[in-house]
């Protein structure tokens, strides 16, 4: 009996009608573990397990995972919520902390704009965001009003005040937040959960990929001779892209012409005695930027840079100096390949994680894209819409790429060859050109974002915060007789809201106590 027939027999025996369109695959093999692979395994088991789909993940003990990113967007919370995994179950185990947004330091040398905070959205934002947009519009047209984004957003105040983005019961507004975590431990936690829910786990090193006469993947061959066959394959093999690029020869589209960074050097430091705040910090450096990601047991630090402007030894030395470490402090070097495969879903193979593409970790979008890919794939598979899915995922990559490119293109520093080049090139998309044109000509940026249909990637708030946070305003401003922006009232409102939230240390202590109980 074939794999599909076996699945149909199980459905008939159980009286199940798990899907409304095309039935899901009878069997799926995921090649590669790590966070991306185990996230996909959990989601596929959750969505299609009841329909009889057999999900198997194969990982090699000889191949490690990259584990560069240790931060997330709020979509990761939605993922854990869907699986029914409480924060107290996974966060203490993975040394996780909360994340209300990203602090950017040193990306601008304009007075008053040396740093800014990019907050995650909250349901409180509409009370102050319109005022922020109005201040931006006035300042972009040369009026002397305060338009730095920091005072206008609750998440910014929560993070800066050392609080956690956890709304108490008496505060009836949703607060979006992400996490910082140990990627290795999250992968192990998700593996344990997936296997407990019925995902099959195999340890093998794949030596060959065999295609059938039609050109689809038929089975994988391990170096010990074992074979693994399935109806659908997910390539989570990292930058190797063993299935999507190796076996199926799908072309890779490089983003190197406008995303210059291709390397990273990383090292940990101890948690400071003052504790940690619910924010990632991204500090501009001579040929890139340095992240600081606080966990409960350490701070992760990494220098993302371009090897065209800085060699490995110089990058390591700059990172050590920035972190206050001795010259012989141990570091780890990584190479990055910014870009994406032309199509994420080719024949009976779906690429996820680094095998699908990579956008440098400035916006911590790697896991966000994994979730969007798997979610979109399950729906598109049932609707038999591979072309529509591929187009949607490509647009998501391009939209996120444009936002990251804008971080560099609109930065206000020119002190090194790297910064002069990343701020001065003209290799940007038509979409980004229109965004920048709207900003610098003082027209309606919000309308431009919505007309382009890119708000699903980054909303008008994100574009306004970044461009205003750098101080991209006319240098000459005229006074206004009757200013409509009451900044004192905005700060009173935001500050009062923030008082409802626990400190970050208190929130983490509660998690640890709940886990122990």
List, edge to edge, every strand of the sheet that includes 217-222: 206-211, 217-222, 227-229
d(CA 41, CA 33): 9
CA–CA dist 280, 271 (Å, integer): 14
Q: What is the DSSP letter of 343?
A: -
Is residue 319 within 8 A of residue 327, CB to CB? The reply is: no
3-state secondary structure of 98: strand
Determine which helix (DSSP H) or strand (DSSP E) holds 386, and give its type and residue range.
Answer: helix 386-409
* SS (HEC) of 167-180: CCCCCCCCECCEEE
Using the 8-state DSSP alphabet, how is residue 413 labeled? -
Cα–Cα distance, 285 to 411 (Å, whole number)? 12
Active-site residue identified among 46, 61, 77, 99: 99
- Which two three-digit tokens encode residue 296? 């409960």
Is residue 99 annotated as a catalytic residue, yes or no? Answer: yes
Q: Rounded to an integer, what distance in angstroms lies between the CA atom of residue 27 and that of residue 161?
A: 50
Specify the 3-state DSSP secondary structure of 365: coil
Q: What is the C-alpha separation between 326 and 381, in angstroms, rounded?
A: 53
Distance (Å, whole) CA 25 – CA 53: 6
For residues 136 and 468, is the Cβ–Cβ distance under 8 A? yes
The tokens of 442 are what?
A: 């003082």
Residue with tokens 């509409």: 126
Cα(109)–Cα(419) distance, rounded to whole angstroms? 12
313 token code pair: 């030894």
Instruction: Say how many residues make up the chain.
Output: 517
Q: Among 22, 28, 26, which residue's Cα sits nearest to residue 41?
A: 28
- CA–CA distance from 368 to each of 57, 332, 391, 463, 491 (Å)? 20, 25, 17, 19, 32
| Residues annotated as part of the active site | 99
């Amino acid at each position: 009996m074939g794999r599909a027939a076996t699945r149909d027999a199980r459905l008939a025996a159980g009286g199940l009608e798990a899907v409304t369109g095309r039935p899901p695959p009878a069997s799926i093999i995921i090649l590669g573990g790590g966070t991306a692979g185990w996230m996909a395994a959990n989601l596929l088991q959750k969505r299609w397990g009841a329909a009889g789909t057999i999900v198997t993940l194969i990982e090699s003990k000889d191949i490690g995972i990259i584990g560069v990113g240790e931060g997330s967007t709020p979509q990761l919370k939605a993922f854990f919520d869907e699986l029914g995994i409480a924060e107290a179950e996974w966060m203490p185990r993975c040394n996780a902390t909360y994340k209300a947004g990203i602090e950017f330091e040193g990306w601008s040398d304009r007075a008053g704009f040396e740093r800014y905070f990019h907050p995650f959205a909250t349901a409180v934002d509409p009370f102050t965001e319109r005022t922020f947009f109005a201040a931006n519009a006035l300042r972009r047209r040369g009026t002397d009003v305060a338009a730095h984004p920091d005072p206008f957003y609750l998440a910014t105040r929560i993070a800066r005040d050392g609080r956690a983005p956890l709304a108490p019961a008496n505060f009836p507004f949703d607060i979006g937040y992400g996490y910082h975590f140990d990627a290795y431990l999250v992968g192990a936690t998700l593996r344990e959960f997936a296997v407990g829910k019925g995902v099959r786990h195999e340890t093998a090193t794949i030596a060959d990929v065999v295609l059938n006469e039609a050109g689809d993947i038929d089975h994988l061959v391990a170096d010990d001779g074992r074979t693994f066959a399935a109806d659908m394959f997910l390539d989570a093999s990292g930058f190797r892209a063993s299935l999507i690029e190796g076996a199926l020869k799908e072309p890779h589209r490089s983003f190197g012409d406008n995303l210059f960074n291709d390397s990273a050097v990383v090292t940990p430091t101890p948690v400071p005695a003052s504790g940690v705040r619910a924010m990632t910090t991204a500090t501009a450096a001579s040929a890139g930027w340095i992240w600081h990601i606080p966990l409960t047991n350490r701070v992760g630090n990494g220098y993302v840079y371009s090897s065209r402007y800085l060699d490995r030894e110089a990058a390591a030395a700059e990172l050590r100096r920035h972190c206050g470490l001795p010259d012989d402090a141990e570091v780890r070097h990584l190479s990055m390949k910014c870009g994406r495969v032309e199509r994420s879903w080719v024949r009976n193979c779906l690429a996820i994680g680094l095998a699908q593409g990579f956008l440098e970790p400035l916006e911590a979008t790697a896991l966000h894209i994994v979730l969007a890919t798997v979610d979109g794939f399950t729906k598109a598979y049932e609707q038999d819409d591979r072309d529509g899915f591929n187009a949607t995922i490509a647009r998501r990559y391009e939209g996120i790429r444009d936002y990251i490119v804008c971080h560099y293109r609109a930065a206000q520093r020119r002190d090194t060859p790297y910064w002069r080049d990343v701020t001065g090139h003209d290799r940007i998309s038509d979409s980004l050109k229109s965004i920048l044109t709207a900003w610098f000509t003082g027209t309606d940026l919000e309308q431009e974002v919505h007309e382009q249909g890119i708000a699903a990637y980054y909303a008008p708030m994100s574009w306004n915060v970044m461009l205003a946070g750098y101080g991209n305003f006319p240098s000459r401003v005229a006074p206004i007789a009757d200013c409509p922006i009451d900044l004192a009232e905005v700060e009173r409102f935001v500050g009062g809201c923030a008082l409802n939230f626990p400190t970050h240390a208190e929130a983490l202590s509660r998690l640890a106590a709940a886990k122990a109980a």
